[in-house]
Amino acid sequence: MRPIRVAVVGAGPAGIYAADILTKEHDGAKVDVFDRLPAPYGLVRYGVAPDHPRIKEIIKALRRVLSRDEIRFIGNVDFGTDLKLEDLRQFYDAVIFATGAIYDRDLNIPGIELEGSYGAADFVSWYDGHPDYPRDWPLTAESVAVIGAGNVALDVARVLAKPADEQLTTEIADNVYQGLKANRATDVHVFARRGPAQIKFSPMELRELSHSPSIDVLVDEEGFQIDDAGQAAIQKTKSVKLVVDTLLKYAEAEPTGAPHRIHIHMCQAPVEVLGEDGKVVAIRTEKTELDGTGNAVGTGEFVDTPVQAVYRAVGYRSSALPEVPFDDTDHVIPNAGGRVLDLDGNHIPGTYCTGWVKRGPVGLIGHTKSDAQETITNLLADLDTTPEPVQTEADAILRHLTDRGVDHTSWEEWVTLDAHEAALGEAAGRERIKVVPREDMIRHSRG
């Protein structure tokens, strides 16, 4: 196989795994991994709650990959603004899009546009110190609704309920700490439209809700329904059984009188956000019942829960990229095994995708690796018919960016910023303190 140069757009796990697999399976491959941020790691850095250090262990593995000589990180480069697809084709044999899914899916119910109604993904980006999001977040609500039955919903509920001082052991930025310190929330209500055997919490995330002495977890027993499909899932899947057992323990436990409470309501489907003077005042849910197949049907009985803020955690979605086909219904790049397809269903030569922008925002790290493997296998199989780039010299792309006035950053500069954040944390008795503003990230990355 001939030597090749490949561009990966997106420096999260999907893009990094693709670079890793490609360089291991093709001795002559060199990969440049681009990201629009000055820092790598994508949602592992900017989408995981800061009090999840075990999950962030994955960064150590990603760092080892990006440290390899065959792979180069180029940060602070926005695809579509700083670089176009036609630019990349001049310098690379192939382009792999691994831009992930960072935006909230819509929830089309009346009142969702009211003041005090937010997307969970935006809130996650705020508390994770994403440089492109506001530094402040309105946290005046005493009672909050979180709509969703997945781990993001649990993360949002836990961060809202846990006192700021308990989160100082994490890497949260100073502006996030100050914001959480002013948080007035005492009651966080999590709504799931189905029962305990269908809920998508992971056992570990669910158990972690009670790790704070300042939080009582209260499960509404009225929604604790298990139908035939749920019973079969409990018997078949260990994780489902663990989730149901944990929910049952919460339901049976006596409240401790903790100052903050997370209420879990199952078999309640959101139907409307109620407002006065343009602001959220309550959420209306319809009680549901399971039909035996694991699906929920409405009962016609409604419940209004007074809240002053609503967070929708109903899933992430990808966004379209300039010059790249996009499916606006499924929010993915149309593809066949990672080969990007045009409107006629034909493969666009040298163009590939992997990760959530390929399959949608489902699955864990293991799925991301298998995704990348499939894409790389097809990329290598296509090499005989893939056009070669016009410019093959490694630094030609860097000169191109410099000539266009793009202030791109390097892996070495990220290592410097990484050390700076760690030093900030060490001085405060913490593992790390994130630098948030983009200009500060770049300045500290250069010493």
- 281: tokens are 């005042």
The pLDDT assigned to 98 comes to 98
Question: What's the pLDDT score for residue 141?
Answer: 98
Distance CA 207, CA 219 (A): 13
Q: Which two tokens stand for residue 195?
A: 């029962």
Calculate mean pLDDT across residues 10-36: 97
Share of the chain above pLDDT 70, in %: 100
Helix (H, G, I), strand (E, B) or coil at 68: coil
Local confidence band at 53 (pLDDT 50, 70, 90 cut-offs)? confident
pLDDT in tens, 202-230: 999 999 999 999 999 999 999 999 999 99
Helix axis angle for 438-445 and 411-427, nearest 10°, is: 100
Q: Cβ distance 391 to 90 under 8 Å?
A: yes
Task: Render pLDDT for 87-119 as a digit per residue (tens, 0 to 9).
Answer: 999 999 999 999 999 999 999 999 999 999 999
Q: Are 108 and 274 in contact (CB under 8 A)?
A: no
Per-domain boundaries in the chain: 4-102+318-407, 104-316
d(Cα 294, Cα 226) in Å, to the nearest integer?
9
State the pLDDT at residue 14: 96
Tell me which residue of 191, 183, 203 sits closest to 137, measured CA to CA: 183
Tally the residues of the chain: 447
pLDDT category, 52, cuts 50, 70, 90? confident
Specify the pLDDT at position 107.
Answer: 95
Q: What share of the chain is helix, strand, coil (3-state, %, to 5)?
A: 35, 25, 40
The average pLDDT across 317-328 equals 95
- State the CATH architecture for 4-102+318-407: 3-Layer(aba) Sandwich (3.40)
Report the CATH superfamily, name and number, of domain 104-316: FAD/NAD(P)-binding domain (3.50.50.60)
pLDDT at residue 46 tops 90: yes
Angle among Cα 98, 101, 102 to the nearest 5 degrees reads 125
- Is the distance from CB of 75 to CB of 38 less than 8 angstroms? yes
> What tokens appear for 332 in the block?
């993915």
Q: What is the pTM of this model?
A: 0.94
Coil/strand/helix, residue 125: helix
In contact, 77 and 408? CB cutoff 8 Å? yes
**Span 409-434, mean pLDDT?**
95
What's the confidence (pLDDT) of residue 136?
A: 96
User: Rounded to the nearest 10 degrees, what angle do helices 228-236 and 238-252 cross at?
Assistant: 110
Q: What residues form DSSP beta bridges with 309?
A: 144
Local confidence band at 366 (pLDDT 50, 70, 90 cut-offs): confident
Both structure tokens of 402: 């410099």
* Same fold yes or no, 4-102+318-407 and 104-316: no
Q: What is the pLDDT of residues 260-283, one digit of tens each?
A: 999 999 999 999 999 999 999 999
Helix (H) or strand (E) holding 280: strand 279-290
Average pLDDT over the chain, rounded to whole? 95
Residues 430-439, mean pLDDT to the nearest whole number = 93
Residue 171: pLDDT over 80: yes
Identify the band that residue 395 occupies on the pLDDT scale cut at 50, 70 and 90.
Answer: very high
How much of the chain exceeds pLDDT 90, in percent?
A: 92
Reported as half-sphere exposure (CB side, CA atoms, 13 A), residue 29 has a value of 26
Report the pLDDT averaged over residues 129-156: 96
- Comparing CA positions, the residue from 391, 347, 317 lying closest to residue 7 is 391
